[in-house]
């Protein structure tokens, strides 16, 4: 049994990761300041004797007593709607929060996992994106608070590895969805699900021909755990390579919900990436991992959850 700190524990991915680690027999300390997360996501974890929760902003000094075997840093604003509302908080959690959690991992001699993002590739000029693609990011653009905070975070992780010999992992997460996403999260799947379930038109931004590749949460958690358990210290893409246009996604959500909703087009947010699809060869060969939940099945399970919330 290991003792593991998870930051961003009250969020969508953090709460599922806590549940999985507890089920695997570990002791888990969850940390979150609830800026976008909700403690109700931790309902199952709170029932577990090996779970404790610290309400704390990880941009401030972090004190955890006792040993730690791993520090998993998931805290961040993650939805484009939220991070554009809170650009300074986003930059601070990616920079200062990563610094504080790395310092803690060094102090405890713990393995460190950083949840980076496909956004380090920006609006990519190559598709799919392999890990050695360096990206196309605007440092002064409307999404830069998020993209650059994660690029800086990766660089800081690399520096702690080189200077302090810290045992590090970097997951470049691609669009992930599932139960426990907030209905008002603003990301495309909760938006479409809420609209389809309430008979409103689905709001497709732009012409809807931009693509994303959606990974179901259970696959993502398996991928993150496989990465943690590996010895791969270089960034690894974790995501599903099943690429769809946003128009196709809208039609699928209407179909799965059996909805009467139509589709309306709204203005495309500035610098919205045109394509996004992970090259997951490295995850396949080095982690022995690949996703296996289809978009249709994952949407069905997510919509069951969203239905209970609308």
Q: Which is nearer to ligand UDP, 189 or 232 (CB)?
A: 189
Question: Which of ligand UDP, ligand NAD, none does residue 228 bind (CB under 5 to 8 Å by kind)?
Answer: none
Q: Which residues bind ligand NAD (CB under 6 A)?
A: 7-8, 10-14, 32-37, 57-59, 74-78, 93, 97, 115, 117, 173, 175-176
Give the residue among 20, 40, 38 at the shortest CA–CA distance from 28: 20
**Does residue 302 bind ligand UDP (CB under 6 A)?**
no
End-to-end CA separation in angstroms for the chain? 39
In the numeric block, which tokens belong to residue 66?
Answer: 């006792």
Cα 276 versus chain centre, distance: 15
80 binds, among ligand NAD, ligand UDP, none (CB under 5 to 8 A by kind): ligand UDP
Q: Which listed residue (69, 87, 135, 205) binds ligand UDP by CB under 6 A?
A: 205
**Minimum CB distance to ligand UDP, residue 56 (Å):** 27
**CA distances, 195 to each of 4, 72, 201, 270, 307 (Å):** 38, 34, 6, 23, 11
Q: Which does 204 bind (CB under 5 to 8 A by kind): ligand NAD, ligand UDP, none?
A: ligand UDP
Is-catalytic flag, 177?
no
154 vs 165: CA distance, rounded Å: 15
Q: Could you say whether residue 100 binds ligand UDP (CB under 6 A)?
A: no
- The active-site residue out of 83, 112, 146, 160 is 146
122 contributes a contact to ligand UDP by CB under 6 A? no
Burial group, residue 253, by CB count within 10 angstroms (0-12, 13-18, 19+):
buried
Structure-token match 């022995």, residue found: 288
Q: Is 14 in the site for ligand UDP (CB under 6 A)?
A: no
Minimum gap (Å) between residue 199 Cβ and ligand NAD? 27
Task: Choose one: 5-13, 50-58, 157-165, 184-192; the region binding ligand UDP (CB under 6 A).
Answer: 184-192
Cα diameter, the chain = 58
- In terms of CB distance, is 215 or 227 closer to ligand UDP? 215
For residue 211, is the peptide bond before it cis, meaning its omega torsion is within 30 degrees of 0?
A: no
CB of 205 to ligand UDP, least distance (A): 4
- Distance separating alpha carbons of residues 162 and 102, to the nearest angstrom: 13
Residue 70's closest CA among 13, 7, 161, 24? 7
Please give the distance of CA 206 from its chain centroid, rounded to a whole number: 24
Distance CA 162, CA 156 (A): 10
Judged by beta carbon, residue 111 or residue 144, the one nearer ligand UDP is 144
Kindly tell me which residue out of 71, 105, 188, 303 binds ligand UDP, with binding defined by CB under 6 A. 188
What are the catalytic residues? 146
Binding positions for ligand UDP, rule: CB under 6 A: 80, 175, 187-188, 191, 203-205, 210, 212, 246, 269, 272
């Amino acid at each position: 049994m290991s003792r593991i700190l998870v930051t961003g524990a009250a969020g969508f991915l953090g709460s599922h990761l806590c549940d999985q680690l507890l089920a695997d027999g570990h002791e888990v300390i969850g940390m979150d300041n609830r800026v976008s997360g909700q403690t109700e996501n931790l309902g199952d974890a709170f029932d577990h004797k090996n779970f404790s929760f610290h309400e704390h902003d990880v941009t401030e000094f972090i004190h955890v007593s006792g040993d730690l075997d791993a520090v998993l840093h998931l805290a961040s604003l993650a939805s484009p709607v939220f991070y554009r509302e809170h650009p300074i908080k986003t930059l601070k959690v990616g920079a200062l929060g990563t610094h504080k959690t790395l310092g803690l991992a060094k102090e405890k001699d713990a393995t460190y996992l950083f949840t980076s993002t496909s956004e380090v590739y920006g609006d990519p000029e190559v598709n799919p994106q392999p890990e050695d693609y360096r990206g196309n990011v605007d440092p002064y653009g409307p999404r830069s608070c998020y993209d650059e905070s994660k690029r800086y975070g990766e660089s800081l992780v690399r520096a702690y590895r080189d200077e302090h010999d810290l045992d590090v992992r970097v997951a470049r997460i691609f669009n992930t969805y599932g139960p426990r996403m907030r209905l008002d999260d603003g990301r495309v799947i909760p938006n479409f699900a809420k609209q389809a379930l309430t008979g409103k038109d689905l709001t497709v931004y732009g012409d809807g021909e931009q693509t994303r590749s959606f990974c179901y949460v259970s696959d993502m958690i398996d991928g993150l755990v496989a990465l943690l358990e590996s010895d791969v210290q270089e960034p690894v893409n974790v995501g599903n390579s099943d690429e769809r246009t946003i128009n196709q996604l809208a039609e699928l959500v209407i179909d799965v919900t059996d909805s009467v909703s139509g589709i309306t087009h709204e203005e495309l947010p500035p610098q919205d990436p045109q394509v996004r699809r992970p090259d997951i060869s490295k995850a396949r060969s080095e982690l022995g991992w690949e996703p296996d939940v289809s978009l249709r099945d994952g949407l069905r399970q997510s919509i069951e959850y969203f239905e209970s919330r609308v």
